[in-house]
Structure 1
Amino acid sequence: MGTTSLPNSPFAALNRGLLAYVALTAYIVVTSALMLMNTRTSLGTDVLFILFLLSFLLLYRAKVSNGYKLALGAIMLIGVVPYFGTMNAYYIELAIQAGIFVALALGLNVVVGFAGLLDLGYVAFFAVGAYLWGIFSTDQIGLISPGASPVSSQLFYLFMALGLFLGAFFGVLLGLPVLRLRGDYLAIVTLGLGEVIRVLAVNLDRPINITNGSQGIKSIARPPLPDFLRALFPGLNDPQLYQLFIYALALLVVGLTVLTVFRLKNSRIGRAWEAIREDETAAVAMGIPLVRMKLMAFAVGASFAGVMGVLFAAKQQFINPPTFDLIRSIGILAMVILGGMGSIPGVILGGVLVTLLDLQILPRIATELSALKRQGVVIPDWFDPAQYQRALFGLLLIIMMIFRPEGILPDQRRREEAHATEEQEALVEVETGEAKPA
């Protein structure tokens, strides 16, 4: 069932007509101006940055034309965020990380949200893309094949395409052994296969040193900085320009991912995935090729992770096996669940929210508590929010499952299913006399 605004709400008038355009634009202008006037890394700037990001959610929910939404969104993503990033590199780095994990969450959403296949080894495809570029762009390739030299950094974009196909290939390899599995059994097997990739990354340093083991691969090459950026921003140094360049690449990949996922969701393939998610037996009876559709879901989801793995390796210039552990897979799955499985805007919101909690909000709270402790405020030594990050994520998931099981921005079909189930349960309780009708 769709939700409607309360007619007597004092905020209802702000979400319709000309007033919606004025209120939305005013909020974005004010938060952007305040953020640009406070560029020092601090708690206040963090709050302003979060309020600025909140404008994207308001932009999505506002009842204004799609063209106006796209124009404002483009101005914020292409203008405000990069300009603010040149003043404080911390926040543009945060935006890059958010973009990487949003793309990963969108890929996992294809597998979990669209096709209903619980995959706990998704980070393995991320690792495949990262090690692909890490091996071929460094001297590590010479340890595998004596006499071979690293590829040119100019081939980075080719390797992004190779990462896409290699990720899809490994997605099919993962999907083949689990075609007959469902639910918990599927989750356990995918978890094991994901751990196999990590263990291989740790141990493939002998007899041939392929991954350099637990020491990881360092000095990974970066793609060359385009000359037009230096001409376009003559006042910025190379590190600043490079951050803007990586941000633009991440934004481009996220945009293409959103477009691809949206087109797939509204296609015959997307409807087939939805049918498989709801009832595999009925889907087969309706003529849906179950094996092909499941393998396609694994391949499509894994391909996005492969591309982002290549970009991640180039950005970090260092990778090692702990980067791709089970906790990373669980974190990406939490993004999908919190945002709303099957919902593209919801998964984007979940990816940004979890990234902010992980990299900004919890570390900032820990920093402020440490500052208060130095000033004489009595704070127990064991109380450090950053150390209880996973516990807070778990508590957040529990709260979501109790009060909003469909997610923050759920898919319309899942919202209807959740509320229909609640109504049916309430009706059964009334009919059996266990509860009194309201």
Structure 2
Amino acid sequence: MEKLKSFLSGNKIAQGVLIGVYVLITSLALYLSQKSVVAFLLLLFSLLLLYYTQLSNRLKWLLAGVVLVGVLPWAASSGPSYQSYMEVATLVGIYVAMALGLNIVVGLAGLLDLGFVAFFAIGAYTYGIFATGQASNFMPFGEYPLSGESFWLFILVGCFAAALCGVLLGIPVLRVKGDYLAIVTLGFGEIIRIVYNNLDKPINFTNGAMGISSVTPPELFGMQFTYPSQFYYIVLGILVVVMFAVRNFEYSRIGRSWKAVRENEIAAQSMGIHLVKTKLLAFAIGASFSGMMGVVFAAKQAFVDPTSFTLLESITILVMVILGGMGSVPGVILGAAVVTILNLQVLTEVTNWLNQMSMEGAISFPEALSPSKMQRFIFGAILILFAIYRPQGLIPAKNPVFNEEELKAHAAKQTGKKSSVPEDRAMQA
């Protein structure tokens, strides 16, 4: 075993071949089986294995794109569970994007936000109101519902609306931090939910607790998007943009400013960092990702109501960030995927299997310990185990390592260029 590990650790070609064989076996297993959650999870596990290989980043992205765009939909398309697999994959993508947005606020900037789902609701209601006849109750012009082609525009509208609300939230809470910031953001999330729940009179904006139904599905070149397998590609496209933006922000000047504010606000301010601008940018950018996914969620569900945007949803997204590793982009992606798959698929399948065994008389459970009642307990126990044995997260954040000699040589080279400019001008004079 040790010889195999040492052989693979320094051989990129062997690692690539091993990943290819693994993907081929798991994809064939999923394709040939009518319904196999294990094969589906094993195929997704190949992305985590790919992350730990020593292949170049460009090749990793290329292979991950091949798996997500081609292999996964093809392997899942043969059985009757195709749409259920794509539903899980789509929701994983939605929660990954929201977790990446919250990671900017909590993980990079260090601002504890317990009302993040409010921006998700803003995006969902922004599209839900105008994609149904609801807008005709208060809009003096235009014909509603809007066509499905407007969905692509509303992705940007939801993004800017959520970002604007993020700035409006950030302005009054800049005076507080820590626990008080958590309380204020929690109150903001509850206020948004209650407003949407009661905004059906005197003018009916949101239809109140009844929710908004029959939301117009997206449309492109005459083709309507109604199935999870179609929304999967929409979410995947938006997720690529979100991940690209987050990675660029993380290592940019604003990303370093967020980290400085997170570590010590006084020291950051003494180094010339504008605290107000930095915090507002964190709130706005993080909220914008959630607003975009809110638009997609409303179109996918074709129904929007306040019960989808409770405090529990905000806590769940925060758990994804903490479980994966605060400030770590790959960690947050893994944490969001683990929590979503556990809730939507793994624990549900285990509960159904135990219920089936109980009905057949193979296992007997007391009424108070029935599997359906213990699902949340099992989920909580799993989170506790993760917190005990992986307190820094599944993939902890890593600061980039720079070569000190190369930095000094580059600085000396730049200094030499600057100092030579006055000499040249003097010679010209």
Structure 2 length normalisation: TM-score?
A: 0.87
Note the 1:18-417 alignment, pairs <5 A: 18-38=13-33, 40-41=34-35, 45-87=36-78, 88-145=82-139, 148-150=142-144, 151-226=146-221, 242-377=227-362, 378-413=364-399
Bigger drift between 94-103 and 404-413 goes to 404-413
Shift of 1:381: 3.2
Q: Would the alpha carbon gap of residues 12 and 324 (structure 1) be closer, same or farther in structure 2, given more than 3 Å must change?
A: farther
Aligned residues of 2:86 and 2:228 also touching (Cα < 8 A): yes
In structure 1, distance between residues paired with 2:10 and 2:21: 15
In structure 2, distance between residues paired with 1:144 and 1:345: 44
Listed one character per residue, the Cα deviations across residues 366-390 of structure 1 (whole Å, up to 9, x for unaligned) are 1101110121121233334554444
Shift of 1:394: 3.5
Which amino acid in 1 is paired with 2:219?
Answer: P
Which amino acid in 1 is paired with 2:366?
Answer: P
In structure 2, distance between residues paired with 1:349 and 1:171: 26
In structure 2, distance between residues paired with 1:404 and 1:335: 13
RMSD of aligned C-alpha atoms? 2.0
In structure 2, distance between residues paired with 1:390 and 1:373: 19
Aligned residues of 1:164 and 1:307 also touching (Cα < 8 A): yes
Q: Would the alpha carbon gap of residues 384 and 171 (structure 1) be closer, same or farther in structure 2, given more than 3 Å must change?
A: farther
Shift of 1:99: 0.5
Shift of 1:144: 2.5
Q: Would the alpha carbon gap of residues 195 and 388 (structure 1) be closer, same or farther in structure 2, given more than 3 Å must change?
A: farther
Listed one character per residue, the Cα deviations across residues 408-434 of structure 1 (whole Å, up to 9, x for unaligned) are 0111149xxxxxxxxxxxxxxxxxxxx
Bigger drift between 84-93 and 322-331 goes to 84-93
In structure 2, distance between residues paired with 1:262 and 1:413: 13
Which amino acid in 2 is paired with 1:81?
Answer: L
In structure 1, distance between residues paired with 2:213 and 2:357: 38
In structure 2, distance between residues paired with 1:177 and 1:411: 30
In structure 2, distance between residues paired with 1:176 and 1:127: 20
Bigger drift between 258-267 and 69-78 goes to 69-78
Question: Which residue of structure 1 aligns with residue 411 of structure 2?
Answer: none
Q: Would the alpha carbon gap of residues 12 and 271 (structure 1) be closer, same or farther in structure 2, given more than 3 Å must change?
A: same
Aligned residues of 2:83 and 2:229 also touching (Cα < 8 A): no
Aligned residues of 2:114 and 2:185 also touching (Cα < 8 A): yes
Bigger drift between 126-135 and 22-31 goes to 22-31
Q: Would the alpha carbon gap of residues 179 and 31 (structure 1) be closer, same or farther in structure 2, given more than 3 Å must change?
A: same
Aligned residues of 2:43 and 2:72 also touching (Cα < 8 A): no
In structure 1, distance between residues paired with 2:227 and 2:345: 22
Listed one character per residue, the Cα deviations across residues 204-248 of structure 1 (whole Å, up to 9, x for unaligned) are 111111111111000001111445xx7xxxxxxx77x84333111
3-state SS of paired residue (1:354): helix
In structure 1, distance between residues paired with 2:378 and 2:18: 34
Aligned residues of 1:339 and 1:346 also touching (Cα < 8 A): yes
In structure 1, distance between residues paired with 2:185 and 2:376: 21
In structure 1, distance between residues paired with 2:291 and 2:97: 10
Shift of 1:9: 7.1
3-state SS of paired residue (2:367): coil
Shift of 1:19: 2.2
In structure 2, distance between residues paired with 1:117 and 1:46: 37
Listed one character per residue, the Cα deviations across residues 137-164 of structure 1 (whole Å, up to 9, x for unaligned) are 1011122336753122211111111111
Which amino acid in 2 is paired with 1:68?
Answer: L
Bigger drift between 87-96 and 66-75 goes to 66-75
Q: Would the alpha carbon gap of residues 123 and 389 (structure 1) be closer, same or farther in structure 2, given more than 3 Å must change?
A: farther
Q: Would the alpha carbon gap of residues 144 and 352 (structure 1) be closer, same or farther in structure 2, given more than 3 Å must change?
A: same
Bigger drift between 145-154 and 25-34 goes to 145-154
Q: Would the alpha carbon gap of residues 116 and 392 (structure 1) be closer, same or farther in structure 2, given more than 3 Å must change?
A: farther
Question: Which residue of structure 1 aligns with residue 424 of structure 2?
Answer: none
In structure 2, distance between residues paired with 1:389 and 1:323: 20
Show structure 1 runs of 5+ residues with no match: 1-6, 231-237, 415-438
Aligned residues of 1:225 and 1:245 also touching (Cα < 8 A): no
3-state SS of paired residue (2:369): coil
In structure 1, distance between residues paired with 2:147 and 2:30: 39
In structure 2, distance between residues paired with 1:329 and 1:9: 46
Shift of 1:58: 0.2
Structure 1 length normalisation: TM-score?
A: 0.86
Shift of 1:75: 1.5
Aligned residues of 1:130 and 1:306 also touching (Cα < 8 A): yes
Bigger drift between 86-95 and 271-280 goes to 86-95
Show structure 2 runs of 5+ residues with no match: 401-429
Q: Would the alpha carbon gap of residues 384 and 52 (structure 1) be closer, same or farther in structure 2, given more than 3 Å must change?
A: farther
In structure 2, distance between residues paired with 1:326 and 1:214: 16
Shift of 1:203: 0.7
In structure 2, distance between residues paired with 1:266 and 1:140: 43
Q: Would the alpha carbon gap of residues 300 and 19 (structure 1) be closer, same or farther in structure 2, given more than 3 Å must change?
A: same
Which amino acid in 1 is paired with 2:189?
Answer: G
3-state SS of paired residue (1:342): coil
Name which one, 1 or 2, has greater alpha-carbon Rg. 2
In structure 1, distance between residues paired with 2:25 and 2:260: 45
Listed one character per residue, the Cα deviations across residues 18-50 of structure 1 (whole Å, up to 9, x for unaligned) are 322222221111111111111x23xxx111111
